[in-house]
Structure 1
Amino acid sequence: MPNFSRRHASLALLAVLAACGKSGPTAPARGAMPQFKRYSGPPVTQVVVQKAERRMFLLNGQTVLRSYNFGLGNQPVGPKQFEGDGKTPEGLYYIDRFNPRSRYHLSVGISYPNERDVAYAAQFGRSAGSDIMFHGRGPEGNVFAPKNRDWTAGCLALTDQEIEDVYAMLQPGVPVMLYP
């Protein structure tokens, strides 16, 4: 039995390192449409993320519409530089995609890596990584989040209910500013 437990933990850890936005076994069945929340309030004009405080703000101008706590990558201090470093980016990015079939319930992508990120990583012969998302917990988050708040491969993890709100409120092109 101990080997099974170690093997199960190892497989779960490998799954965490998989790209946040890819579909997986917890996604809805092909052809099934998930139920989406609707949002009819003021538009979100920017997202501000304070990594150190683990706080995200959805703003309309200077007005905070909603704020959320979140988990980060498993190496939360410092900006993302390379694929697999477990860090979350810092700087200005934009909402660029939505995944209704994410293995992490729902996910909203940001435009990482930008040209600067790619060029920096290339100086070292490395990849900058990709698929940085706001997403729900999914199966790995349900295992790791209660014990370790920062468990993703570099994404920002919310609860499934919170990502439903965020997914409904955001539009492509909204700027996302991630501060240390």
Structure 2
Amino acid sequence: MFRQLLICSLLVSVSALAQASTIRPGQKVDLVVVDKSASKMEVFFRGKLIKSYRIAMGDNPQGHKQKEGDQRTPQGRYTLDFKKADSAYYRSIHISYPNEEDVLRARALGIKPGGAIMIHGQDPKNPMTPEEAQKFNWTNGCIAVTNNEMDELWQLIDPGTPIEIWP
């Protein structure tokens, strides 16, 4: 009897865990988190990790984006505010950089903060396979995933989704 209860309890736990870490068709993630030092982006639904992606970033990924052309990926809390289906890099989802704080910092330094920071797919001119390209930081400050992953993210993310980008 004890053995049957233990097996039943384990099956219920495994089933609950499987349901907690998947998203049902039509549902959208409610948070995207980027860990720059790990070259990783994770998507969450109700606090549960749904999926993790290997990302490529700007050529100079350490530190917060300060100015236009510095090849850095910003850090902080932003919003994924619109989608661009006809991106030069397959598809893209715009990150709301620069925010008010970024603009004020750049203004105080007398520089332009830059912009057009996106999550996007692969460079169509790159001769490497998507998996090879993801091993390098090659963007101008954007966050790149493979085109197949971008298709997945396109379905999971709606405009207005928060994104946190951490060092």
> Over residues 61-105 of structure 1, what are the superposed CA-to-partner deviations in whole Å (9 max), with x where a residue is unaligned?
211111100001010111101000000000000011100000100
> RMSD of aligned C-alpha atoms?
1.8
How high is the sequence identity, in percent, across the aligned residues? 37
| Partner residue of 1:69 out of 45, 54, 58 | 54
Bigger Rg, which one: 2
Change (3 A) 1:118 1:142: farther
TM-score in terms of structure 2 length: 0.79
* 2:165 alignment partner in structure 1: 178
Count residues with an aligned counterpart.
142
* 1:168 alignment partner in structure 2: 155
TM-score in terms of structure 1 length: 0.74
Q: Any residues of structure 2 matched to 1:1-180 within 5 Å, and which?
A: 40-142=25-127, 146=132, 149-180=136-167
Q: Distance in 2 between matches of 1:176 and 1:74?
A: 21
Q: 1:153: Cα distance to partner?
A: 0.3
Q: Which residue identity lines up with residue 46 of structure 2 in the other structure?
A: G
Query: Is the Cα contact below 8 Å between 1:108 and 1:134 reproduced in 2?
Result: yes
In structure 2, stretches of 5+ residues that fail to align are 1-23
Query: Is the Cα contact below 8 Å between 2:32 and 2:163 reproduced in 1?
Result: yes
Instruction: Tell me which protein shows more helix as a share of its residues.
Output: 2
Q: Distance in 1 between matches of 2:154 and 2:52?
A: 14
Moved beyond 4 Å, runs of 4+: 140-145
Query: Is the Cα contact below 8 Å between 2:28 and 2:155 reproduced in 1?
Result: no
